[in-house]
Chains A and B, each alone.
Chain A
Amino acid sequence: MNRRTLIKWFSRAIGWTCACIVAIPGIRFITEPLRRRSSGGGITQRVVQLANLRVGEPVQTTITGSRQDAWVRYDQETIGRVYLVRETDDTVPPEQSKVKAFTAVCPHLGCAVQFDAGAKTFNCPCHKAFFELSGNPVSDSELGYRNPTPRGMDSLECQVVQEGGTGEWWVEVTYEKFEYGLTTKTPRA
């Protein structure tokens, strides 16, 4: 290796080293959102008394919690909305009664699903997805067009539990978020 090649390589090395010293933390910094995953798992909350639910009349409740948005933390924010659909009436003892919980987030692209009390269907105003009370998508033939949703409404884990002190029966929901647009319900990593 002669002198000229050496100093060429030497210059290149200095340049590239310095570039890397900027680029590596640069890439790490910019891609930080990829590594910062939401805490995972859901939050479990008692949302409503069983006595306040009626069969065939879904009730929307809110899930509150704290939310971190980059450098701001919001306390007691509404972080999700949940529809509760009671399936068994008062003739069934509370511990055996069935309540279904659906997140109000549309599985298509994440708009807020609404409930139409007249038609007894859930619908999403964004691209007109329709769901039955059971959460299943309304069939294309019934709609007259292709239902844009890839799957039914996302159900959430939901239990009827008795409160220690008061003996009241409460509905407890574990709130989670799911990926949009997939045919199967996949929790967000």
Chain B
Amino acid sequence: MLKKFRDWLDDRTGYRNVVRPLQRRVLPTGPKWGHATANTLLWMMLTVVITGVLMMASYSPSTTSAWSSVHYIDQNSAGAFLRGLHFYGSHAMIILFAIHTLRVLVVAAFRAPHEIVWITGLLLMPMVVVWAITGNPLSATQRGFSQIEVEGNIIASTPVIGPIIQRLLIGGDEVGNLTLTHLYSLHIFVFPLLVGLLLAIHLHQVYRHGLGSSPDDGSGGPARPYWPYQTVRNMTVFGITFSIVAVLAWRQGAPLDAPADPDLPHWTRPEWYFLFLFELRRYFGGSWEFIATAVIPGVALLLLIGMPAIDRMASKRMSAVFRGAIILAGVVAWGTLTGASVWRDWGDKEHQSLTAELEGHAERARELADRDGISPAGAISLLRNDSQTQGPRLFRQHCVSCHSHVDTNGEGIVAEEPSAPNLYRFASREWLAGMLDPEACASESYYGNTEFAEGDMVGSVQDTLADLDDDGKASLAQLIAALSAEAMLSSQAALDEQARADGTIELGVAAMVEEFACIECHKIGDEGELGAAPDLTGYGSADWLRALISNPEHERFYPDTNDRMPAFSASDGDSSRNLLTEHDLDLLIRWLRGDGEHQPVGATSGPDENASTEAGQGGRGPMRQLPTYRLIRTRHPRPRLMTPPNPSPTISCLHRSHLRGKLCGIGTV
């Protein structure tokens, strides 16, 4: 039956004429393990092509959807595995290609009549590398986009044609949508087509002239048919390589860096196989860089292409020496340059912290995408609206020249020259306890390095709070609890609730008004006047912070006594005029307060927020009224006993560590 069908097919197509010679192919000097790399390379390429085609079914090349669609592929475990095979398979291809080329060079398999085999092979090698490179940015990651940007600039450093090619590749000035569509068409069509054509010539030539094992290497055995003697060797090597790739794909998966965002720091290292070029460029200055990136590799390639001719001119011995020298030089140069680059990064703390930061971003982006999904605005908004990511970045950019943000272990964002309070856990009970401690308040963690070091606040803390008796200490603790409750920190919600229920807060407010007479300078609720010192109403709350950071010289804060704090967002409306946009300000405050980012930025959280936002921005709206607890109760309606003093599930890990944290060290930071 099957035989009949085959006969019919052969009659119509004549396929046996093609297949039979392949089946009966004989290796005149017997099978060799060395031949297996080339075959493994072919199978690996097939794996990569098949997995690539499968992924195409779910991939969408645009800046808004590329990362999301790749993440979508990853969310399916089979998809993640396929992507892993594709990724590690392409790396394996490059390694196999290098081994294959070296072997051909060693055994001088390029000799006549194999010149065309040799040349097409040499052209295939850079082509396969570039093919792989065009795939890296397709996931629209920070890493991928940084790489293509730098690669584009490297191309542009070639005189005359460089800039043109760069523009065509990138699709304009900046990496964006067209970059993705251009690379995509190159990656899935143009390069496969070119590689396929060259490969067809290459293989046809191999078939026509036989495998180029040199007859003079003396290792030839008796003639054997290719199938199955060579095939079994091929499949063994391929099986081993494939297993490694599959295990990596399964255990490790292909990496997915954070979505590309020009606002995030750039990833600055190329793929491992290009590190040598990256390193080489360091030694060539400015406009000579194209020597490293174009001339040297070009000359090396030409030299290799000329090998058959050189070999023919030289004696056998000379040729062997020459080839040995080339291999040695190539391997040593590649190895040293790559090694030097890795070594330099190894010792570079800054690079490592940057890498760690970027890896953190990647993890966070995936976590957010898994948890909340991705909006139509694209994956870029994941981290842009994430206070945990943006908070530290904004703090480093705008605040760290004066403020630190370090915990008791000294971990966090450290100001080089702290000249304003450490804002770690600002307005929490621990923070306030430090500020109201006679020693700590004059230390560099609080006001030690500010103009206020000599001011009334530090003075009165040192005068009145130094030798408190036990009663005094108790009411100070109540004061701290009451003032800290004004901040409505989510991490302290349970404590605040408890304090409110057992009357601590009322006592604390009374202590502020009477016993410690804070209202002589400060305003709190209806008590006291504005002007002399910051308003304590809503102290440390989101609105209070927003108003303070926007304009510290507002009458609520330091109308006359502002030390050096800039007004970050003083002009309403036109955000381009402000040091901080409203969006950034929101993220910064959210992060400073350790608020979860589960509510979208810009959304109002409750009726009271509107009222105080008005007060915060215009300064003319109604101030919030004491007693505070009535307002606070509307925010935290949870019954006291049902809220464990431990983190609630919505609080992310960052805040958990805050909660676990020790009390802010008094005078020790």
Residues of A whose CB lies within 8 Å of any CB of B are: 30-31, 33-34, 36, 38, 45-49, 51-52, 54, 57, 59-65, 69-72, 76, 78, 109-112, 117-118, 125-127, 145-146, 148, 150-151, 170, 177, 180-183, 188
Contact = CB atoms under 8 A, between A and B. Distances in A.
Nearest to A181: B157
B63 interface: yes
12 contacts: A33-B171, A38-B172, A47-B577, A70-B172, A111-B268, A118-B416, A125-B266, A125-B350, A126-B268, A150-B285, A180-B153, A181-B153
Interface residues of B, number: 51
Interface stretch (B90-98, B162-170, B592-600, B613-621): B162-170
A125 B400 contact: no
Contacts of B176: 69-70
B376 to A, nearest CB: 11
A31 B324 CA distance: 45
A183 B268 contact: no
Interface string B451-485: 00000000000000000000000000000000000
B173 interface: yes
Nearest to B574: A46
Given A31-B168, A34-B168, A69-B63, A146 B285 contact: yes
B268 A71 contact: no
B149 interface: yes
B156 A177 contact: no
Given A54-B564, A146-B285, A125 B168 contact: no
Contact of B397 (A30, A60, A181): A60
Interface string B397-414: 100110000000000000
A148 B178 contact: no
Nearest to A78: B263
B282 interface: yes
B450 to A, nearest CB: 14
Contacts of A60: 397
A64 B575 contact: yes
A48 B576 CA distance: 9
A64 B286 contact: no
The list of the 10 closest CB pairs from A to B, nearest first, reads: A150-B286, A118-B416, A69-B176, A52-B566, A70-B177, A126-B268, A64-B576, A109-B153, A33-B172, A70-B178
Contacts of A61: 579
A52 B579 contact: yes
B68 interface: no
Contacts of B149: 110
Interface of B: 63-64, 146, 149-150, 153-154, 156-157, 164, 167-168, 170-174, 176-178, 181, 262-263, 265-266, 268, 281-283, 285-287, 289, 350-351, 354, 397, 400-401, 415-417, 564, 566-567, 570, 575-577, 579, 581
A52 B157 CA distance: 39
Contact of B170 (A33, A47, A49, A76): A33
Contact of A180 (B156, B172, B265, B567): B156
Contact of B172 (A36, A110, A145, A182): A36
A177 B173 contact: yes
A183 B63 contact: no
B63 A146 contact: no
Given A109-B153, A181-B153, A71 B177 contact: yes
Contacts of B173: 38, 177, 188
Contacts of B566: 51-52, 59
Contacts of A110: 149-150, 153
A23 to B, nearest CB: 16
B185 to A, nearest CB: 10
Contact of A69 (B177, B287, B289, B581): B177
B579 A59 contact: yes
Given A31-B168, A52-B566, A59-B579, A181 B266 contact: no
B258 to A, nearest CB: 15
B354 A125 contact: yes
A109 B174 contact: no
Contacts of A45: 576-577
Contacts of A145: 282
A38 B351 CA distance: 33
Contacts of B287: 150, 181-183
A127 B146 CA distance: 13
A117 B416 contact: yes
Contacts of B567: 49, 52
Contacts of B64: 72
B401 A117 contact: yes
Given A49-B567, A78-B262, A33 B289 contact: no
Contact of A72 (B63, B181, B285, B350): B63
Nearest to B162: A181
Given A60-B397, A117-B401, A127 B282 contact: yes
Given A54-B564, A63-B576, 12 more contacts: A30-B168, A38-B173, A62-B581, A110-B153, A112-B265, A117-B400, A117-B416, A125-B265, A127-B268, A148-B285, A181-B156, A181-B286
A109 B150 contact: yes
B564 A48 contact: no
A180 B581 CA distance: 29
A61 B568 CA distance: 11
- Of A30, A65, A69, A182, chain B has the most CB atoms within 10 Å of the CB of A69
Contacts of B285: 146, 148, 150
B164 A76 contact: no
Nearest to A59: B579
Nearest to A107: B286
Nearest to A151: B286
Given A52-B567, A52-B579, A182-B287, A70 B171 contact: yes
A52 B569 CA distance: 11
A111 B264 CA distance: 11
Nearest to B154: A109
B366 to A, nearest CB: 24
Contacts of A64: 575-576, 581
Given A33-B168, A69-B177, A109-B153, A126 B577 contact: no
A34 B167 CA distance: 6
